[in-house]
Amino acid sequence: MNIFVTGATGTVGREIVKQLAEGGHHVRALSRNPGKAKLPAGVEAVAGDLAAPETFAAAFEGVEALHLINFGGDDYAPLQTGEQIVALARQGGVRRITVLLGGSPTPLDAAVAAGGIASTFLQPVEFMANHLEWAASIRSEGLVREPFCDRLSAVVHEADIAAVAVAALTQEGHAGKTYTLTGPEVLSLRQKIDLLAAAAGREIKLVELTEQQARERWAAAGFPPEAIEFFVEIYGNTPEIGTTVVPTIEQVTGRPARTFAQWAAEHAAAFAARGEQLTPVQPSP
C-alpha cells in the first residue's frame, strides 16, 4: 500500500514508518527538515509544514492511508488546519486515517471525525520513551529527581502504539474506533527505576522533589506555565485511564504488549555510567 505518515520523525511516527517499511509498504514521510530526518532506506521523504498544508499537497497523490498527528510546531500547539488536510486526503483518494491523540481534543480530531474517511483514533497513556529524560542524571549522578513519587502508570511502549497504527492503516475492522493503549502492567516510579537499574547494571537513587521544587525545575527548563500545570495535574492526580491496564494492544496486534523491562533492556546503554560499555540490545521486532 501507499501510506503517508506525518510526525514521521517523532517517537511514535518513526516506529510507524519503520514497521510499515518492514511490512513492504511504500511510505511517504513528512518532515519540516527532510534532510535531517534519517529515514529508513526506501522511505520517501516529503518536505512540508502541517500548519500550511499547501506545502505538501502533492504528497497525497495516490495515497491509500494516512497517519496524522494533531499538533504543529515545537510548542505542540493544536493544529488548526485539519479541514484542509482532510480535504486534501479525500482528493488524493485516502481510504483510512489514524490520528495520534494527546491529552485534550483538538480541531484536527474533529475534522477527521467529520471528514467521511474511515478513521481510527489512538489514545496512548504515558510513553515509556519519556523515561529517556532521566538518562542524563542517571548517567552523571546515578539518581532520578521527581515529584509525586507515589504515582502509578500503565506506561506503553512506543513500538506497540505504532503496531496498532500499522494495523489500523493496513487492515479492515478498525474504522470508527478510539483505542486506549496501555502497557501490560501498572508500575510505580520506584518499580520503573529498579527495572532500569537492573537493565543498566547499576544502582539508581530516587530523590523526591516537592511540587514547588518541581515547578521551579520545569520553569528553568523552559516549559510554559500551561505545560507545568499539565504536568502537576497528570502526575499529582493521574486520571484512571493512566493507571488501568487494557488489553487493546494484544487484541489488535495479536501479541502481548511490551513490558517496561523490555524497554529498559533496549535502552540500557542510555542509562549506563559514563565510560561503561554495555552491549546494545536490539529493539524488539
Least Å distance between CB 21 and ligand NAP? 16
Question: Applying CB under 6 A, does 234 fall inside the site for ligand NAP?
Answer: no
Nine-digit cell string for 152: 502509578
> Max Cα separation, the chain?
56
Q: Which residues contact 227 (CB under 8 A, 6 or more apart)?
A: 218
Rounded to whole angstroms, the Cα distance separating 85 from 171 reads 22
Rounded to whole angstroms, the Cα distance separating 98 from 121 reads 6
Question: Applying CB under 6 A, does 16 fall inside the site for ligand NAP?
Answer: no
Question: Applying CB under 6 A, does 49 fall inside the site for ligand NAP?
Answer: yes
Question: Applying CB under 6 A, does 127 fall inside the site for ligand NAP?
Answer: yes
Rounded to whole angstroms, the Cα distance separating 118 from 131 reads 34
Question: Applying CB under 6 A, does 239 fall inside the site for ligand NAP?
Answer: no
Least Å distance between CB 155 and ligand NAP? 8
Least Å distance between CB 237 and ligand NAP? 16
Question: Applying CB under 6 A, does 53 fall inside the site for ligand NAP?
Answer: no
Question: Applying CB under 6 A, does 73 fall inside the site for ligand NAP?
Answer: yes
Please tell me the number of Cα atoms within 13 Å of 227 on its side-chain side: 14
DSSP 120-160: EEEEE-SBGGGGGGGHHHHHHHSEEEES-TT-EE--B-HHH
> Based on CB atoms, which residue is closest to ligand NAP, 107 or 142?
107
Question: Applying CB under 6 A, does 130 fall inside the site for ligand NAP?
Answer: yes
Please tell me the number of Cα atoms within 13 Å of 62 on its side-chain side: 5
Question: Applying CB under 6 A, does 31 fall inside the site for ligand NAP?
Answer: yes
Strand partners, 146: 208
Site for ligand NAP in 78-117 (CB under 6 A): 100, 102-103
Least Å distance between CB 126 and ligand NAP? 4
Q: Which helix (H) or strand (E) holds 41?
A: none
Question: Applying CB under 6 A, does 33 fall inside the site for ligand NAP?
Answer: yes
Report the residue from 1, 26, 51, 135 that binds ligand NAP according to the rule CB under 6 A. 51
Rounded to whole angstroms, the Cα distance separating 135 from 144 reads 9
Q: Which of 195, 210, 149, 4 is nearest to 91 (CA)?
A: 4
Report the residue from 3, 5, 8, 249 that binds ligand NAP according to the rule CB under 6 A. 8
> Based on CB atoms, which residue is closest to ligand NAP, 30 or 112?
30
The 169-198 site mask, x for binding ligand NAP (CB under 6 A), equals: ------------------------------
Question: Applying CB under 6 A, does 263 fall inside the site for ligand NAP?
Answer: no
Q: Is 165 helix (H, G, I), strand (E, B) or coil?
A: helix
Site residues, ligand NAP (CB under 6 A): 7-13, 30-33, 37, 49-51, 69-73, 100, 102-103, 124, 126-127, 130
